[in-house]
């Protein structure tokens, strides 16, 4: 006898879409997400290619629908511990991590977040560019709306002092005694939509990420150009907070590379073209250089988008970047980042001085996807 219930692991856009299609077809779906809110990487993005529609405008209605659907049981801030049984009849154990918030009482008003006196760098949602409170919601439109306490950095959990969130909570929803819960589910099938990690660009030290201040990852740049991001959408340098006059975008970082991932990640060309457009949109006088191996624009209206970005004045240099340094040798290179690449179309070595570099990292399956 096949159990009609389904478990979807991962609450990004793929998991949400799968869960909604199944729920609308009459199946009961358990949507499991390890972060405090569903939304995944798409919630971090500003615009989507090739139409440049606002990412949140597409995603947020689906998040709300998944959160309110009668056929979807949403278990956020939860992780699958084990799956037993056989095809059509699985018993799943899910660990519902303690938020230290009583969800029955919490109204999601956000007073606790406002009154919390402690902030830390937000390494997950803001990619390390912004900060968040120790009691937090990943972003304002989070689903579910309940905040979560980061016990690693919370002063109450470390030193037994503070309790500001509890003192100011109008509904007494803060519960410092809450424990993790183990929930048992019975499902007939499981969908894994665990998403991706960006390639760790530190594995390519020749590109200077972490050592040269104005080398950014693609996700850091996404947060920077996002109007709701840490810089309110302004493109600024990490050290001086001034706007760059020239930007280099390096394609295929960690993809199509025998030393790292041999496959093409398939999205980097397009999001790199999108970045070139966004730089021109925010900084019309800036020079933009795209260093690419091949442009792979193989989707509906992708090629047209590529031509549009060329028409806007982006420079395209075909060749893999060898290294990025801050060692000025020629006049005009002082204080700049020097991108060195072999231009395979012109057959010459190029040294291009720029103010900012964006590394278009490839995508990998989640590091613990195997588990």
Q: How far is CA 136 from the centre of its chain?
A: 17
Q: Average of pLDDT values for 167-190?
A: 96
Residue 321 contacts residue 272 (beta carbons within 8 Å): no
Q: Cα(6)–Cα(88) distance, rounded to whole angstroms? A: 10
Percent of the chain with pLDDT over 90: 96
User: Rounded to the nearest 5°, which phi and psi values hold at 184?
Assistant: -105, 130
Structure tokens at 138: 């990943």
Starting at the earlier edge strand, list the strands of the sheet with 72-76: 72-76, 29-33, 6-9, 189-192
C-alpha distances out from residue 252 to 184, 202, 204, Å:
43, 14, 12
Give per-residue pLDDT as tens, 62-78.
999 999 999 999 999 99
pLDDT band at 242 (very low <50, low <70, confident <90, very high): very high
Mean pLDDT score of the chain: 95
Beta bridge partners, 246, equal 287
Measured from the Cβ of residue 158, the count of other Cβ atoms closer than 10 Å reads 11
* Tokens found for residue 276: 């070139």
Q: What is the pLDDT of residue 328?
A: 87
pLDDT at 370: 83
Tell me what pLDDT residue 222 has. 96
Q: Could you write out the DSSP letters of every residue in 263-305?
A: S--SSHHHHHHHHHHHHHHH-TT-EEEEEES-----STTHHHH
Q: How far apart are the first and last CA of the chain?
A: 28
| CA 50 – CA 41 distance, rounded (Å) | 18
Q: Are 41 and 12 in contact (CB under 8 A)?
A: yes
**Tens digit of each residue's pLDDT (9 = 90 or more) over 117-131:** 999 999 999 999 999
Which helix (H) or strand (E) is 202 found in, with range? none
CA distance 230 to 216: 14
pLDDT tens-digit map of 183-235: 999 999 999 999 999 999 999 999 999 999 999 999 999 999 999 999 999 99
Q: For position 7, what pLDDT does the model report?
A: 97
Tally of CA atoms within 13 A in the half-sphere of 336 that contains its CB: 20
Whole-angstrom Cα distance, residue 359 to residue 146? 35
- pLDDT of amino acid 369: 83
**Per-residue pLDDT at 79:** 96
* Strand pairing category for 356-361 and 215-217: parallel
Residue 168, SS3? helix
Element (H, E) at 249: strand 246-253
CA atoms within 13 A on the CB side of 87: 0
pLDDT tens for each residue of 11-34: 999 999 999 999 999 999 999 999
Tens of pLDDT, residue by residue over 320-365, are 999 999 998 999 889 999 999 999 999 999 999 999 999 999 999 9
Q: Looking at the chain, list the stretches that DSSP marks H as alpha helix, in order from N- to C-terminal side.
A: 13-24, 55-68, 111-115, 155-159, 164-168, 218-225, 268-282, 302-311
Per-residue pLDDT reduced to its tens digit, 269-327: 999 999 999 999 999 999 999 999 999 999 999 999 999 999 999 999 999 999 999 99
Candidates 278, 276, 302; CA nearest to 291 is 276
CA–chain centroid gap for 83, Å, is: 28
Mean pLDDT (whole number) for 146-167: 95
8 A C-beta contact, residue 291 and residue 253: no
């Amino acid at each position: 006898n096949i159990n009609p219930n389904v478990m979807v692991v991962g609450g990004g856009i793929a998991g949400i879409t799968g869960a909604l299609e199944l729920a609308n077809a009459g199946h009961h779906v358990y949507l499991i997400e390890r972060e405090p809110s569903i939304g995944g990487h798409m919630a971090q993005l500003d615009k989507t290619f090739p139409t440049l529609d606002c990412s949140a405008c597409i995603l947020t209605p689906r998040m709300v629908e998944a959160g309110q659907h009668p056929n979807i049981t949403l278990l956020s801030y939860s992780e699958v511990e084990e799956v037993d049984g056989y095809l059509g009849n699985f018993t799943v154990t899910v660990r519902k991590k303690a938020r230290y918030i009583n969800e029955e009482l919490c109204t999601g008003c956000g007073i606790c977040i406002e009154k919390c006196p402690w902030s830390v760098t937000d390494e997950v949602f803001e990619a390390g560019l912004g900060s968040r409170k120790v009691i937090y919601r990943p972003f304002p439109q989070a689903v579910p709306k309940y905040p979560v306490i980061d016990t690693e950095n919370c002063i109450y959990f470390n030193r037994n002092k503070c309790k500001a969130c509890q003192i100011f909570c109008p509904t007494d929803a803060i519960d410092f005694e809450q424990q993790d819960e183990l929930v048992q589910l019975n499902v007939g099938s499981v969908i894994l939509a665990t998403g991706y990690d960006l390639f760790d660009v530190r594995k390519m030290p020749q590109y200077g990420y972490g050592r040269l201040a104005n080398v950014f990852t693609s996700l850091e740049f996404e947060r920077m150009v996002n109007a709701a991001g840490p810089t309110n959408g302004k493109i600024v340098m990490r050290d001086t907070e001034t706007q760059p006059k020239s930007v280099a975008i390096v394609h295929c970082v960690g993809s199509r590379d025998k030393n790292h991932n041999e496959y093409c990640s398939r999205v980097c060309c397009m999001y790199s073209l999108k970045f070139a457009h966004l730089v021109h949109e925010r900084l019309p006088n800036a020079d933009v250089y795209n260093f690419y191996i091949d442009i792979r624009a193989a989707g509906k209206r992708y090629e047209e988008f590529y031509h549009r970005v060329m028409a806007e004045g982006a420079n395209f240099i075909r060749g893999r970047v060898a290294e990025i340094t801050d060692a000025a040798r020629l006049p005009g290179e002082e204080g700049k980042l020097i991108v060195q690449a072999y231009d395979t179309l012109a057959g010459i070595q190029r040294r291009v001085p720029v103010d900012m570099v964006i590394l278009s990292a490839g995508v990998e399956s989640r590091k613990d996807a195997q588990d």
